[in-house]
């Protein structure tokens, strides 16, 4: 209706359930409320034709620059958080998520994607919920005590998520206790949603998947569809009714009938927006206006047990810790709660945090990561320094002994950052690998390569620098001569001997020579990597057959001694000027070594 003709990305369960939700919403708005100019059933069908499935952890390129990736959100079936990157900037939009696994869904989780901006919901931004097991026990005890005294229990809940969660809880309890009191859920949308829970069982938690082998947990034995005629039946019963805020539908109709009886019980398991009947009842009002003509006296026992599928304050902080964003934006919450959570995030994570009003334009300055290959020498030096620091810290401070025993996951690094120019990769080097005073330095802004001194933190899975300062130097220099890179390739001699057709008892020195021969043969096949010592005269005794030279500076050799781990090794070195050729050569070496 608004003129959008592009793709719409949805997870497979969302794609299946979405038409049902939209049609239900349309019927309530048009057929019950009488609104005009609303979307039609045909609009829903046309909309769903544009949908493109987006699977969890799958990277989808919308165009040449924009990529999308979905992460499990644990809120309802099919819920996902979206990581989007365009160029060098990225954002994570959480939507609704739950960091605590429940009876049928798992907990939300995301990689350490380090987005420029994380936009997170804050529905329960200042709440830390108690033990889920204690809440479940309290819920079941209250339901059981009410039906035992002959009362009726009304549980308003949303058709997708809480209905299935609480139905599994009641079903398990009824079976364990051998109860015969009838339990109902409002037919229609909830019943349709249950079909998709059965279909997409792989989106549920591990316990549900394991029980699915014997019986689908969503094939309820004790819970039956609701009929409106049952509302006036005598005797105890339990009803799960939609919607969850008592503002319309089956839940409100049933509340009108059952509210005056003090034997009955109303259990509100979720959040209620201010102004709804649910919010008024929870605030303690004893007379509630259902509409402009109807008032209801509230004698029913009202209980509020939070089974919301939103993350609490602890869960929100945990997600921020997982994603490690540079900026955080808080949405979908009450202003007072957002303000408190904002100060908490800024003090704990030290990153900017924003809580904009609806419709407010937010401008955030973003930086740019520099991805670099870290030299072997710098990694070893930094690792040894971190180990030494931990040992010294533990010996002088008993409280730091635990740190010394834990694995190193990140460490400070101080090295030289060489920025590449497209053909040559950016590298992070140890200062001992070359004479910095003899290297010309180019000041930023003239388009040439640069040498910079970098100090920062390197995580185990990824290396980089968090802050960079340009080293003052000469201007107008086009190249960095005299810098030589070194790397090592350690390999399993026994497995390579088998691949190369050598005897299993072949010595490591024999395997190394055979590896050099194989590498030389592949290099010869590529005209750009033909070895410099491959002419007919190379068969003479004066030629070093334990090394291969490619170009002017690339040298592949076998060291006299084995590696630290007792495995045969190849040493490769090359000059900065031949970085592109060296990369081509290294790929050939990797093919031989497997």
Active site residue 35: no
Phi, psi of 212 (to 5 degrees): -65, -25
531 DSSP 8-state letter = B
Structure tokens at 543: 């030629």
Which residues make Cβ contacts (< 8 Å) with residue 327, sequence separation at least 6? 116, 117, 118, 351, 352, 353, 354, 364, 366
CA distance 12 to 72: 12
CB-CB neighbours of 228 under 10 Å: 11
The Cβ-side half-sphere exposure at 571, using a 13 Å CA radius, reads 14
First to last CA, the chain: 56
CA distance 44 to 500: 62
Residue 511, SS3 per DSSP: helix
Residue 375, SS3 per DSSP: coil
211: left (phi over 0), alpha (psi -120 to 50) or beta: alpha
Residue 24 burial by Cβ neighbours in a 10 Å radius (0-12, 13-18, 19+):
middle
Q: What share of the chain is helix, strand, coil (3-state, %, to 5)?
A: 35, 20, 40
Q: Are 301 and 262 in contact (CB under 8 A)?
A: yes
Q: What is the length of the chain?
A: 594
CB-CB neighbours of 405 under 10 Å: 8
- Residues linked to residue 483 through DSSP beta bridges, in sequence order: none
The DSSP H or E segment spanning 338 is helix 335-349
Catalytic residue among 67, 121, 360, 452: 121
Closest CA to 386 of 406, 370, 367, 371: 406
CA distance 531 to 522: 10
According to DSSP, the β-strands at 467-470 and 450-459 are antiparallel
Phi, psi of 266 (to 5 degrees): -115, 120
CA R_g for the chain: 33
Which residues make Cβ contacts (< 8 Å) with residue 295, sequence separation at least 6? 287, 288, 289
Q: What is the DSSP string of 383-409?
A: HHHHHHHHHHHHHH-GGGHHHHHSPP-
Q: Give the per-residue SS3 of 72-111.
A: ECCCCCCCEEEEEEECCEEEEECCCCCCCCCCCCCCCCCC
Structure tokens at 85: 């990157």
CA distance 576 to 462: 23
Residue 525, SS3 per DSSP: helix
Closest CA to 302 of 265, 337, 349, 270: 265
Token pair 């040559």: residue = 424
Residues carrying an active site annotation: 121
């Amino acid at each position: 209706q608004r003129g959008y003709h592009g793709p719409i990305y949805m997870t497979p369960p969302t794609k299946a359930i979405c038409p049902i939700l939209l049609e239900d919403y349309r019927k309530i708005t048009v057929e019950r409320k009488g609104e005009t100019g609303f979307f039609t059933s045909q609009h829903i069908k046309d909309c769903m034709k544009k949908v493109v499935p987006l699977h969890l952890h799958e990277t989808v390129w919308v165009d040449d620059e924009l990529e999308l990736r979905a992460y499990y959100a644990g809120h309802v079936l099919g819920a996902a958080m979206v990581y989007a990157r365009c160029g060098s900037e990225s954002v994570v939009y959480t939507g609704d998520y739950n960091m605590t696994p429940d009876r049928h869904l798992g907990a939300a989780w995301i990689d350490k994607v380090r987005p420029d901006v994380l936009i997170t919901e804050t529905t329960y931004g200042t709440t830390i919920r108690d033990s889920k097991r204690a809440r479940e026990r309290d819920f079941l005890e209250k339901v059981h005590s009410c039906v035992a005294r002959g009362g009726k229990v009304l549980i308003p809940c949303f058709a997708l998520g809480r209905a299935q969660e609480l139905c599994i809880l009641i079903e398990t309890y009824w079976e364990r206790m051998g109860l015969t009191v009838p339990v109902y859920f409002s037919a229609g949308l909830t019943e349709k949603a249950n079909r998709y829970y059965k279909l997409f069982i792989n989106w549920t938690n591990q316990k549900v998947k394991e029980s699915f082998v014997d019986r689908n947990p969503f094939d309820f034995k004790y819970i039956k569809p609701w009929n409106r005629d049952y509302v006036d039946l005598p005797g105890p019963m339990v009803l799960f009714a939609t919607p969850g805020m008592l503002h319309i539908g089956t839940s409100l109709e049933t509340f009108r009938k059952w509210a005056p009886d003090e034997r009955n019980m109303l259990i509100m398991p979720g959040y209620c927006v201010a102004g709804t009947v649910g919010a008024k009842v929870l605030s303690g009002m004893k007379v509630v206006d259902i509409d402009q003509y109807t008032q209801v006296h509230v004698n029913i026992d009202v209980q509020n047990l939070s089974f919301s599928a939103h993350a609490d304050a602890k869960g929100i902080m945990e997600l921020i810790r997982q994603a490690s964003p540079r900026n955080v934006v808080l949405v979908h919450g009450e202003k007072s709660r957002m303000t408190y959570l904002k100060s908490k995030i800024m003090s704990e994570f030290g990153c900017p945090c924003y809580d904009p009003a609806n419709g407010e334009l937010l401008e955030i300055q973003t930086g740019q990561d520099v991805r670099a290959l870290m030299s072997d020498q710098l990694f070893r030096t930094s690792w040894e320094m971190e180990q030494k620091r931990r040992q010294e810290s533990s010996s002088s401070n008993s409280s730091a002994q635990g740190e010394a025993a834990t694995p190193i996951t990140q460490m400070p690094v101080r090295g030289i950052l060489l920025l590449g120019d497209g053909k040559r990769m950016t590298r992070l080097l140890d200062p001992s690998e070359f004479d910095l005073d003899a290297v010309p330095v180019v000041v930023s802004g003239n388009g040439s390569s640069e040498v910079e001194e970098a100090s920062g933190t390197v995580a185990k899975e990824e290396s980089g620098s968090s802050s960079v300062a340009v080293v003052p130097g000469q201007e107008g220099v086009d190249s960095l001569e005299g810098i030589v890179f070194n790397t090592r390739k350690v390999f399993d001699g026994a497995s390579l001997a088998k691949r190369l057709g050598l005897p299993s008892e072949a010595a490591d020195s024999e395997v190394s020579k055979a590896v050099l021969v194989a590498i030389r043969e592949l290099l010869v096949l590529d005209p750009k990597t033909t070895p410099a010592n491959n002419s007919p005269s190379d068969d003479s005794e004066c030629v070093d057959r334990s090394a291969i030279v490619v170009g002017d500076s690339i040298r592949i050799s076998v060291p006299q001694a084995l590696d630290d781990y007792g495995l045969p090794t190849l040493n490769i070195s090359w000059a900065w000027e031949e970085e592109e050729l060296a990369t081509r050569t290294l790929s050939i070496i990797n093919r031989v070594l497997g």
